[in-house]
């Protein structure tokens, strides 16, 4: 990937209870033009991990064509899954070891969708600490929390 990606995708998910009402949000920034886009949504009954994944699915789905993308997230679950775990999950029929036995990967529908979407782009991953004053991460959190509040 180039030093400066074409697009930066910031994502976050939030949940009140786990499971409970949840929200996801993303901010897309197109580096060459400075254009910015944000979107959010939610579900009445979900988990935080599903909302973290959904934010990335929605953000990558918003891209109109293949692009170099820097995915910036505070979710180790999402970033480790995409950068490390997914390869072995796929090799093992989308299964993982759990307590010495094979078990289906949790949130399989979203992981499979992400697998398709990531294949369309040149994606690099960047972890940032959540709730640490990062402007775009804070904005995503604000949008995601507002979404789950709609279900209260």
Whether residue 13 lies in the annotated active site: yes
DSSP letter (8 states) at residue 7: E
User: 98, 104, 131, 149: which is the annotated catalytic residue?
Assistant: 131
User: 43, 58, 136, 141: which is the annotated catalytic residue?
Assistant: 141
How many beta carbons lie within 10 A of that of residue 16, not counting itself?
A: 15
Whether residue 124 lies in the annotated active site: no
Whether residue 74 lies in the annotated active site: yes
User: 58, 74, 136, 147: which is the annotated catalytic residue?
Assistant: 74
Whether residue 130 lies in the annotated active site: no
User: 13, 23, 42, 81: which is the annotated catalytic residue?
Assistant: 13
Whether residue 3 lies in the annotated active site: no
In the block, residue with structure tokens 């093992």? 92
With b for 16 or more beta-carbon neighbours within 10 A and e for fewer, the 75-106 pattern comes to bebbbebbeeebeebeeeeebeeeeeeeeebe
User: 12, 58, 136, 147: which is the annotated catalytic residue?
Assistant: 12
User: 22, 23, 42, 52: which is the annotated catalytic residue?
Assistant: 52
**What is the distance, to the nearest Å, from the Cα of residue 127 to the centroid of all Cα atoms in its chain?**
11
The alpha-helical segments, DSSP class H, found in the chain are 48-61, 76-80, 86-91, 108-119, 135-149
Structure tokens at 136: 């775009």
- Residues designated catalytic: 12-13, 52, 74, 131, 141
């Amino acid at each position: 990937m180039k030093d400066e990606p074409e697009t930066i995708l910031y994502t976050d998910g939030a949940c009140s209870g786990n499971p409970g009402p949840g929200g996801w949000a993303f901010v897309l920034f197109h580096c060459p033009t400075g254009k910015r886009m944000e979107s959010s949504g939610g579900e009445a009954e979900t988990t935080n991990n599903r909302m973290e994944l959904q934010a990335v699915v929605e953000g990558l789905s918003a891209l109109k064509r293949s692009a170099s993308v820097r995915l910036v997230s505070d979710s180790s679950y999402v970033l480790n899954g995409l950068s490390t775990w997914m390869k072995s999950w796929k090799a093992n029929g989308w299964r993982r070891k759990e307590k010495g036995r094979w078990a289906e990967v949790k949130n399989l529908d979203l992981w499979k969708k992400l697998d398709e979407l990531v294949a369309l782009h040149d994606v690099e991953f960047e972890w940032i600490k959540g709730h640490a004053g990062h402007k775009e991460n804070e904005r995503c959190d604000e949008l995601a929390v507002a979404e789950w509040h709609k279900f209260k």
